[in-house]
Amino acid sequence: MTRIVRIAPSILSADFARLGEELQAVTEAGADFIHVDVMDGHFVPNITIGPAVVKALRPHSALPFDVHLMIAPVDPYVAGFADAGSDIITVHAEAGAHLHRTLQLVKAQGKKAGVSLNPASPIELLDYVWDDIDLVLVMTVNPGFGGQSFIDSQLDKIRRLRERIERETAGTGRQILLEVDGGVTPETARKVVMAGADVLVAGTATFKGGPEAYARNIAALRDAVC
């Protein structure tokens, strides 16, 4: 593959009793981003972490924090996660009444803005906000829990998004990353990169086997897409 592919371990699959050490371990193992899944028990059926935990983790890795807000309403919490040390803040298109306003709020904090599309969310939700997007996240599982199986129907969505991103950024010098989250393994990684993905969120595939396996796990994902 000629496209640069970034690996973003999802700390949802890490050992929560030693998160700081886990971040240090995956950073040393060759990760590109740290993916932080924030869930509220309302927008998705699980509860994870808030800004205070993101702030506590920030000193443990110099990698970009790719913070995925699966919460609604989302606007009241954007500033808190920005202040905690997020670099990219991704929201769901359905998490608020005014997606454009939410993206402008993220930008006002000096952060990169992403939009996440659930498996049933159409690409057309992005039609009028392309100028405000730095990243599109395609959920290849239904959000809420780690360890789910990859939904193959999303490959067509990834292909269509890659084509649209190329059109939207042609001649502008802009970069819009295309990220995939859910069921990413060495087997599915090649499929999603062939379809057009730039960033692979990998939870179980990264953290299985403990710290001594992290470098090997990340290398396996890279090798699968070479």
37 is in an annotated binding site: yes
Q: In angstroms, how far apart are the furthest CA atoms of the chain?
A: 47
Catalytic residue among 40, 66, 134, 181: 181
How would you write the pLDDT of the chain (226 residues) with one tens digit per residue?
Answer: 457 999 999 999 999 999 999 999 999 999 999 999 999 999 999 999 999 999 999 999 999 999 999 999 999 999 999 999 999 999 999 999 999 999 999 999 999 999 999 999 999 999 999 999 999 999 999 987 776 789 999 999 999 999 999 999 999 999 999 999 999 999 999 999 999 999 999 999 999 999 999 999 999 999 999 8
Query: Is 127 noted as a catalytic residue in this protein?
Result: no
145 is in an annotated binding site: yes
203 is in an annotated binding site: yes
Query: Is 132 noted as a catalytic residue in this protein?
Result: no
Q: For 6-224, CATH number?
A: 3.20.20.70
pTM metric for this prediction: 0.96
Task: State the helix-helix crossing angle for 214-224 and 19-28, rounded to 10 degrees.
Answer: 50
Catalytic residue among 37, 66, 134, 198: 37
182 is in an annotated binding site: yes
List the domain boundaries for the chain: 6-224
The Cα 119–Cα 122 span in angstroms is 8
Identify whether the C-beta of residue 102 lies closer than 8 Å to the C-beta of residue 73.
Answer: no
